[in-house]
Amino acid sequence: MSNPLLKVSDLRLRYPGTGFRTASPEVLRGVSIEITPGETLGVVGESGSGKTTLGRAVLGLARPTGGTIKFDGRDITHMNPRERRPLARDIQVIFQDPYTSLNPSLQIADILTEPLIAQGTSSQAARNSVRQLLDSVGLPANAAQRYPKEFSGGQRQRIAIARAVALKPRLIVCDEPVSALDLTTQSRVLDLLIDLQRQTGVAYLFITHDLSVVRHISHRVTVMYQGELVETGQTPEVTTNPQHEYTRSLLLASPTADPDRQAERRAARRLLRLANS
């Protein structure tokens, strides 16, 4: 494998407490991950596992209290906003909720050109690239002059993707990007993400709670539980032959869309629970 694009080592994070004496619990408790260029690393976990915080730390939106984050060999753990600004060309984001991730009062064209202009592209050149960006995510060119509320959830998520790829980044942090979408839309958006990855060689840090989504898009998977990684490996291994008990219970807990196999899985879960108790 080539050199890691992103290397997170022993990352720790504790949100500042509300009062003097109240220390909040540690959200990340020594997390280490690596992503190579063009790769998708799936991060699976339940709510409160710290998976979203990991993504926000990589994006510079949360402040780690220990450990390092290296991008392309550079330490970006404690960069101030000014130092961090050029990094926007390399690291971008797609959030879960397509309803609040787009400013409702801006036209789509303004939303898409915002990162370009912030990075010094002339506003004319940025405008010119809008059509191509919309095309790349499968939206018509006339979407540019419309507002987010005129689009469905899936379409909004496509806009968010277009905004993320506008700067041709090398890493995109995807925080549950398909969780709010309908089933049919979900698979189409996942396919779009995979296509874009094949075309541009972008790497994804793909955060989700849904194992079936992870199977579909990740090369490698890491499972998070209470701020720690419990298991990391190639997707087929982790999702079919999990080593860690938590991963196993996670797999058995997610219902499968087949009545007979689901009955088997249910029975298996009962057995596991009995064995544990």
Please give the residues from 181 up to 220 whose contact with other proteins meets the rule CB under 8 A. Answer: 182-187, 190, 194, 197-203, 209, 211-213, 215-219
- Taking CA atoms, 21 is separated from 17, 24, 196, 229, in Å, by 8, 9, 48, 29
The token pair that represents 237 in the structure block: 């291994």
Phi, psi of 11 (to 5 degrees): -75, 130
Residue 9 or 256 with smaller CB distance to other proteins = 256
Could you give the 3-state DSSP secondary structure of residue 133? helix
Phi, psi of 81 (to 5 degrees): -55, -35
Under the criterion CB under 8 A, does residue 250 sit at the interface with other proteins?
Answer: yes
Binding other proteins (rule: CB under 8 A), the pick from 67, 121, 138, 248 is 121
Residue 70 or 269 with smaller CB distance to other proteins = 269
Question: Cβ 277 to other proteins, closest distance in Å?
Answer: 13
Residue 28 or 252 with smaller CB distance to other proteins = 252
Residue 195 makes CB contacts below 8 A (sequence gap 6+) with none
What x-and-dash track marks residues 149-188 binding other proteins by CB under 8 A?
Answer: x---x------x--x---xxxx-----------xxxxxx-
Residues 81-110 that bind other proteins (CB under 8 A): 81, 84-89, 91-93, 95, 97, 100-106
What is d(CA 197, CA 180) in angstroms, rounded to the nearest whole number? Answer: 22
What is d(CA 121, CA 117) in angstroms, rounded to the nearest whole number? Answer: 5
Question: Cβ 143 to other proteins, closest distance in Å?
Answer: 15
- Which helix (H) or strand (E) segment holds residue 267: the answer is helix 259-276
Under the criterion CB under 8 A, does residue 252 sit at the interface with other proteins?
Answer: yes
